[in-house]
Structure 1
Amino acid sequence: MTKFINGLTAISEKIAKNTLLQIITGAFMLMLPITMTGGFAGLFNGISYEPYQNFLTSFGIKPVLSVIYQWTSGTIGLYLAFLVAYSFAQKKDIFSSKIIVGITSFVCFLIITPYTVPTEPFAPSSLPLNWLGASGMFTAIVVALVVGLIFALCKKYHLGIKLPEQVPAYIAEQFTALIPVVLSTVVFGIISCSFAATSFGSFHQFIYTVIGTPLNALGSNIWGFWILQITLYGLWFFGIHGGMTVGPIIMTLFMQLQLENLTAYQAGNPLPHMVIGDALSFGTGSLPLLVAILIFAKSKANRSIGKLSLVPAIFGVDEPAYFGIPMILNPIFFIPWVLIAPTLSVLGTHLLKVVGLLGYSTGSGGQNTASLPFFVGNMMNYGLQGLIWGFVLFVIVTVAYIPFVKAYDKQKLDEESLESTK
């Protein structure tokens, strides 16, 4: 067992320390306030209750929510182009001003985005917003990584304009950045014109077809999502942070699908994707167990830890329960924690969708609801149906824990009884 755990830990650490995943995850974390704001704007704008929609329209609230959504989640590609490059520069420490690297990537992303040139004087040009949003996410990541690589190579081979030491540092820094900025813009200018002459029509369409479509096909597979969830909790069982290891993979696979659903929802259109990397939540791991302990456990240790861990668990902080009970490396809890709970959540949610008892997820919560009480996330993603079925799921998962809690509690009672007789 020790060798197995050590091997699993080594593999997990390699995944968690993967530089590419760390860069992308760092960018998504920096973007969290933007995506949360856009998620709430899209949620409130898309509630399909006629009196509510009439209220939004009559008071001029609907266009306000629409414009907030459009320039937050609706243009996520723009922000991702900047933040991935910024995160790259931060991780690799390739340039003293990370903002310059981010802005260069932002500019290059716009350079490869096709737009309509006006044929008449003073006529407005047209920039397709779809490539600035979810459809342009993978292109934004590619552009940002290439720009970061260009800056890294320029630093490695000392390609930059050096000014005398008497020149203030903040001015010299701008000249140092000039060569990688010029190289980046020229590279993507050539790429933009080259792909405009192909059957793809643009670099965006090429990346979306070659990278985005296969990843979306992988991400929209319910069995793939189920395996990822099992893996996440399985890693936690062995004391490895499953969220840090598997979370970036889930985010990369499903973020675009979530945003496409959210865009359709706030526009009042049918939601396009059934599987977008979320399911009805019962909490982030320990909450059903803690509730079962507080109802059925009799040992002082279990009840004490249960009370201390309950409130943090409601807000997605499970470590007090994971290490305090403990759940980690506790064979009694492996079946309900790693197998039963995520299976009920993922496959149970999917079954409810298939039979028509639950609608598709709006994507407004996405991966951003981990720190919220589970019923709030269910309400954001699935509306009133999600709120109701989420509580049903929570009860079912809690009931599934009962025999395992009683077995563990018996062990603790025996230990406490033995200690009291000493």
Structure 2
Amino acid sequence: MKESKFMNKFESKLIPIARMISENKYLMSIRDGFLIGMPLLIIGSFFMLISNFPIPAWMSLLRNTSVNGVTIASYFSVVTNATYSIMAIFIVMGIGFNFAKREKTNPIFGAAVALMSWFMLMPFTTTVTVESTGEILSVASVPLDWVGSKGIFLGIISSFVAVNIYKKIEAKGWVIKMPHGVPPTVAQAFSSLVPVGVVAVVFFFIQIGFSFTSFGNAFNFIFTVLQMPLQNIGDSLGTMLGVYLFAHILWMFGIHGTNITDSVFRPILYTLSAENLAALSAGSPLPHIINVQFQDLFATYGGGGSTLSLLIAMFFFCKSKRIKELGKLAIIPSIFGINEPVIFGLPVVLNPIIAIPFIGVPLINIVISYMTMKVGLVPICNGVVMPWTTPPIISGFLSSGWQGSVLQIVLITLGIFIYLPFIKTMDKSYILEEEKFELAGEDEISLDDLSFED
């Protein structure tokens, strides 16, 4: 009774917080905006992986073989430069598009004003040093630093501010209305003219304002004051453990915890991954242990709770029909990161027996993975983005070489032994229930046994 009261009270406090986060239009727009760029980042990452595949002979071949005076490795880098190196452009457009949809205004113009406002704040110069003289020059260009991971946070802010202004001007009716008979696309273009103009004027003055500060522009200001401190906080073992603890407590109440935490935490992880990928391309040491790949490939296996370990234990060590059949049905999807069948079928939700390993196994995985990468036993994740459905062992090899695959096998095996006593406890109770049901079935009267003859 006391446990039930505690759970009810805990749930009454937690659910409103989770619902507030999951329904927040800003956080959801960030999450969906990043998803728009996901296919492009995956393709760019794989081209980077091919050109930097950890086989010395292969890397030497690509870097020393030229076609029309250009190395093969340089040809591969074209795809990476057109995707990962300008990732912030896709993200800004995606956030503007999704936020405009939630604000019930034209999503195409939402994406357009988000991108325009962001570019208006950008310094279109790159500083270079002449090697022979040491002279420092400013060259007119689109700086790759700002259209890559370093520009993401200002892009998020610019998108929300621009779309909000656009929506408010539109709601006031300050639009040019065309007569009937004008094609809809033409009418929409003219009706957006005034809102877009107001957005441009606002960001024009913002850009001028920052030019009078010591930062010089909004990009330097946001990167120094906001993005770097957040990256430093996110790039820590304690933060990762805290995020996963919160996410898995939400899972225990049937809420997709990772979806909620990702809307806040994933933008930070993406910037850390991008810096790792840039270091990989330059042949420099990888700077960040914590990144998207660390979270996706080494924290959990088979979805939240690292339930692939649970399913293997169910499949090989349990005897009740209920658990054995569920194990057979759910183990293949779990290999590809889909674990809803076991979450709701076992169930894991509101199950105090499974709660301990479900929350504990991912935290143990994170600590062990972090420590092995910290001491150099396993290479740091290289920043290559891959589909979340990539099975373990393969994903570990692509991200951290053969050592990554070995680490994944060790962690999955360790998870099996942690889950085993808990699932065996459930298994025994299910066996007793099944035996009682079978006995009750034998005592029941069948209509086939009835006779109406004298």
Q: Same fold (TM over 0.5)?
A: yes
Residues 1:56 and 2:62 aligned together: yes
Q: Is the 8 A contact 2:301 2:335 kept in 1?
A: no
Instruction: State the match for 2:382 in structure 1.
Output: 362
What residue in structure 2 maps to residue 163 of structure 1?
A: 178
Deviation at residue 403 of structure 1 after TM alignment: 1.2
Q: What residue number does 1:265 align with?
A: 280
Task: Report the 3-state secondary structure (helix = DSSP H, G, I; strand = E; otherwise coil) of the residue aligned with 1:374.
Answer: coil
Measure the CA separation in 2 of the matches of 1:419 and 1:75: 62
Question: 1:70 is matched with which residue?
Answer: 81
Which gives a bigger RCO, structure 1 or 2 (Cα 8 Å, sep 6+)?
1
Tell which deviates more after alignment, 269-278 or 400-409: 269-278
Q: Which moved more, 1:370-379 or 1:323-332?
A: 370-379
- My pick for the range that moved more, 183-192 or 294-303, is 183-192
- Within the alignment, does 1:41 sit opposite 2:47 as a pair? yes
- 2:125 is paired with a residue whose SS is coil
The within-5 A match list for 1:303-322 is 303-322=324-343
Against the structure 1 CA distance between its residues 400 and 370, is the aligned structure 2 distance closer, same or farther, given a 3 Å change threshold?
same
**Deviation (angstroms), 1:308:** 0.4
Q: Is 1:105 aligned to residue 114 of structure 2?
A: yes
Deviation for aligned residue 1:124? 7.5
* CA distance in 2 between partners of 1:330 and 1:296 (Å): 20
Per-residue deviation, 1:238:
1.6
What amino acid sits opposite 1:354 in the alignment? Answer: K
**Cα-to-partner distance string for 1:229-254 (whole Å, 9 max, x where unaligned):** 12212211121111222221221332
TM-score (norm 2): 0.87
C-alpha deviation, 1:395, in angstroms: 0.8
Q: 1:205 aligns with which of 215, 220, 231?
A: 220
- 1:382 counterpart = 2:393: no
Q: Which residue type is aligned with residue 91 of structure 2?
A: L
Alignment of 1:104-123 (within 5 A): 104-116=113-125
Report if aligned partners of 1:111, 1:188 keep a CA contact under 8 Å in 2: yes
1:8 to 6, 14, 37: 14
Letter in 1 for 2:346: I
Percent identical residues: 30
Residue 130 of structure 1 corresponds to which residue in structure 2?
Answer: 145
**Ranges in structure 1 where 5+ consecutive residues have no aligned partner:** none
Q: Deviation of residue 187 (structure 1)?
A: 2.3
For 2:79, give the aligned amino acid: I
Q: Is the 8 A contact 1:195 1:202 kept in 2?
A: yes
Residue range with higher mean Cα deviation, 284-293 or 129-138: 284-293
The residue identity in structure 2 corresponding to 1:196 is: S
Q: Secondary structure at the match of 1:421?
A: helix
- Higher mean alpha-carbon deviation, 72-81 vs 43-52, is at 43-52
Does the 8 Å contact 1:154/1:180 carry over to 2?
Answer: yes
C-alpha distance in 2, partners of 1:130/1:192? 18
User: For 2:216 and 2:95, how far apart are their aligned partners in 1?
Assistant: 25
Q: Match of 2:97, as an amino acid?
A: Y
In 1: Cα distance, 2:194 partner to 2:362 partner: 51
Point out 4+ residue stretches in structure 1 off by more than 4 angstroms.
none
Instruction: Give the superposition deviation at 1:413.
Output: 0.9
Q: How far is the alpha carbon of 1:418 from its aligned partner?
A: 1.2
SS of 2:285 mapped into structure 1 = coil
Matched AA of 1:291: I
Letter of the 2:179 counterpart:
P
1:187 alignment counterpart: 202
Q: Give 1:282's aligned amino acid.
A: Y
2:424 to 400, 403, 406: 406
Where does the alignment leave 5 or more consecutive residues of structure 2 unmatched? 1-6, 128-137, 441-454
Please say if residues 231 and 242 of structure 1, whose CA atoms lie closer than 8 Å, have aligned partners that are also in contact: yes
Q: CA deviation at 1:356?
A: 1.8
Kindly tell me the number of residue pairs found equivalent between the two proteins: 413
Deviation of 1:117 after TM superposition, in Å, equals 9.4
Point out the structure with max Rg over C-alpha: 2
Per-residue deviation, 1:186: 2.5
Read off the aligned partner of 2:45 and give its amino acid letter: G
Q: What's the offset of the Cα at 1:22? A: 0.6
Report the equivalent of 1:140. Answer: 155
Moved more, 53-62 or 64-73: 53-62
Match of 1:226 in 2: 241
Equivalent residue, structure 2, for 1:93? 104
How far 1:369 sits from its partner (Å)?
4.0
- Aligned-pair RMSD on alpha carbons? 2.0
By how many angstroms is 1:354 displaced? 2.3
Is 1:420 the counterpart of 2:431 in the alignment?
no
Distance of 2:396 and 2:55 partners within structure 1: 18
User: What is the CA–CA distance in structure 2 between the aligned matches of 1:46 and 1:246, rounded to whole Å?
Assistant: 32
Of 28, 36, 39, the residue aligned with 1:22 is 28
Deviation at 1:51, TM superposition (A): 0.6
Q: How far, CA to CA, are the matches of 2:343 and 2:31 in structure 1?
A: 24
Deviates more, 1:228-237 or 1:297-306: 228-237
**Residue number among 371, 378, 396 corresponding to 2:414 in the alignment:** 396
The equivalent residue for 1:283 is 302
1:332 matched residue in structure 2: 353
Structure 1 contact 274–361 (Cα < 8 Å) conserved: yes
Contact 2:126 2:142 in 1 (8 A): no
Q: Is the 8 A contact 2:121 2:217 kept in 1?
A: yes
Q: Tell me, in whole angstroms, the C-alpha distance in 1 between the residues paired with 2:241 and 2:398.
A: 21
Write out per-residue CA displacement over residues 167-193 of structure 1, whole angstroms, 9 at most, x where no aligned residue: 222211111111122222222233223
Q: CA deviation at 1:55?
A: 2.4
Aligned to 1:299: 320
Shift of 1:48: 4.0
Give the distance between the partners of 1:148 and 1:328, measured in 2 at CA.
39
Code of the aligned partner of 2:140: S
Structure 1 stretch displaced more, 223-232 or 186-195: 186-195
Map Cα deviations across residues 45-100 of structure 1 (whole Å, 9 max, x no partner): 333432111222326431122111111111111112211111111111123xx212
1:313-362 per-residue CA deviation (whole Å, 9 max, x = no partner) reads 111110111111112222111111111x1122111111112222112221
